[in-house]
Structures are given as C-alpha cells and as structure tokens.
Amino acid sequence: MMDVEKLFSLPLYGLTQGEKEELFVLMLNELTEHHRERCALYRQITDKIPAEYPLPVRLFKEYDLLSVPEEAVIKTMTSSGTTGQAVSKIYLDRETSLRQSKALSKIVSDFIGKTRLPMLVVDSNAVLKNRNMFSARGAGILGFSMLGRGMTYALDEKMELDLPVLNQFYEKYQGQRVLLFGFTLMIWQYFVKALESAGVKLDLDGVLIHGGGWKKLKDEAVDNDLFKARIEEVTGIKEVYNYYGMVEQTGSIFMECPAGHLHASVFSDVIIRDPLDMSVKSGGKGLIQCNSLLPVSYPGHRLLTEDEGEILGIDDCPGRRGKYFNVYGRIKGAEIRGCSDTYERR
C-alpha cells in the first residue's frame, strides 16, 4: 500500500483538484483492495456491487466491520444516537488511531496555528468516563484536546454552566488567545443561552470550533450567521469555524473556511450522489458520500451518509483550494444522529 506519510508532507489545501485526484484515487483504490483482503463481509458486499460504491453508514450499526484481528483493536468508538437507537461501532487499531489524530491536528492547525492555546470545552468531563469505548462526543473532545492546554470544562455533571469555573478560566487567560470547542447545539443551548440568562458578557480573544446539531437549531430558526453573531455578543469571539464530520471517519473532518464554505482536505473528498439511482451528480443537491484515506482497521474509506448536500465549486473559493460544499441536513426518514443531539436533560 502506498505510504500514507506522503500525505502529511503535502499542503492540506494547496493542490488543485486535478493534482489531488491523481494521488487520491490511486490510494483510495488501494484501500479498497486492502479491506477486501482483510474483511470478509466487505469482500462479500463488493462482490455484489461495484467496489467504487460507498458503504451506507448505517451498516456500521448492524454489523461488526473489521479489517484487523480483534486483538489489534485498541479503541472502539460509538456514534451518537437517541435512546433505543442502535449505534455505529468503529474499531480502531493503533495505526488508524494515529493517522486520524495526526490528520485532525494538521487540519485544525491550518486554521488556528500550531501554538497550543488555553482550551475551554463547552461540555462536561463526565462524557469521558469510559476511555476504551468512546462516544462521538467523547472522541471529539479527546481529539481536539490535543490542540489545547489547560483544558477546562464549562459545564458541570448536570450539564449546567459552571460560572465559578468559567470565571477562573476567564481571569487566568484574559488577554491571551484561547480556544473554545464544543458541539453546536450544546454551545447554543447550555452556553450562549445560559450566559445571556445570567447577564454575563465575556471579552475573549480567540477562536471557537464547533460541529453537529444543526437540525434542532434550524428548527429554532438559528442559522450560521445568527449563531456567530450571538457568540460574538456574549464572548467577544469573532473567529468561529463550523466543521462537518462523523465518528465513522474521525480525523478527516471538513472545516469551514473564512469565506463560510466547508472544504475537503488532502485526506478526504466528497461526492454527491442521486438518491434514486446512486449516480454521481455534477450539480445540484443529493446524498453526500465522504471518502477518507485514513481508515485501515475498518472499511470506512468510502461512506454514504444520510445527509443532503451540494458541491458549490472547485478551486475557486478565496478561503481554500479544492472542493467546497454545503450540507443541508438529514434526508427525510433518516434517524436523528450527531454529537450534540444525544444529551437530553432529564
């Protein structure tokens, strides 16, 4: 298999789409053969359908898909789901876990810089109790924690804003650039609204990274612009980046550039498929297929999501090169999922 380390030496968004595809397609096909040789179920599936077709993400809820011996698994990640729903189980060996961690660090550092910033997590540390089986929330927090220092949790175990802890963080790092991380709905529900209710306004210099949970916010008529405006109003932070990602392809996330577009890095790519016949669409809305060059312990390199999206352009965004796209939300009939849809206050 082609040495994946070559990817880490390439510019994340510096290649044209044509240059990227020369390398990407070759490596993606090699991954397909790798998984066909090592995962019997994946081989059975690809014997019946073209190998370039993606696996529906729902399969990871119904089957254990591994391309390594069970004893090589060091971590199992689970997708988020509401009570009673099945969850995806993603099995990571050391190589895949390392690849995903390095890719996440490289992608996020391209937006916030390489210096580790004081970090405020808009969540509770209770989510990290089981270190061998991570939920999507826990995996996200742990992954992003490598990019910060002095990690502080803004919410207590009851998912309520911990104002004394927040004040300590604010006083300790006032005047320094800081990093805030959390899941979109939780930031809105348990941080922004809580600060507003308490009449607290911060004056932070830093960056906020968030993802997931847009479905419920759109139900409240909250879009990306309003979200950013209210964040700036209560925290002072102007630099806010949304990202699109999933536990089935941890690491190769799609970050929102300063121009407001989601971008595919050198580690990933997106394709839009017609939900009726699975053909690749050259324009318009359809089902999002996410490709990643990182997974070797499970066949998660070509995945069909349950999200509707649209490619907006290629190589002509002022924010980054490559494909950029929009996500419109879940298709009708799909189960509600996502990191920040999983906490319901009781």
Model pLDDT, residue 32:
96
pLDDT of 105-160, one tens digit each? 999 999 999 999 999 999 998 888 755 556 778 878 888 988 999 999 999 999 99
pLDDT of 7-54, one tens digit each? 899 999 999 999 999 999 999 999 999 999 999 999 999 999 888 899
Model pLDDT, residue 220:
84
Mode of pairing for the β-strands spanning 205-211 and 239-244? parallel
In sequence order, the β-bridge partners of residue 303 are: 55, 290
What's the pTM?
0.91
Q: Please enumerate in sequence order all residues whose Cβ is within 8 A of that of 310, keeping only pairs 6 or more positions apart, or say none.
A: 272, 283, 284, 285, 286, 325, 326, 328
Measure the N-to-C terminal CA separation of the chain; round to a whole number of Å.
49
Using 50, 70 and 90 to split pLDDT, how confident is the model at 346? very low
Residue the block writes with tokens 């102007």: 238
Model pLDDT, residue 213:
72
Looking at the predicted structure, is the pLDDT value of residue 175 above 50?
A: yes
Which residue in 179, 167, 165 sits closest to 210, CA to CA?
179
- Give the whole-angstrom CA distance, residue 161 versus residue 198: 10
Contact, 73 vs 79, CB < 8 A? no
Residue 199 identity = G
Using 50, 70 and 90 to split pLDDT, how confident is the model at 296? very high
In sequence order, the β-bridge partners of residue 310 are: 326
Which one-letter DSSP state was computed for residue 303? Answer: E
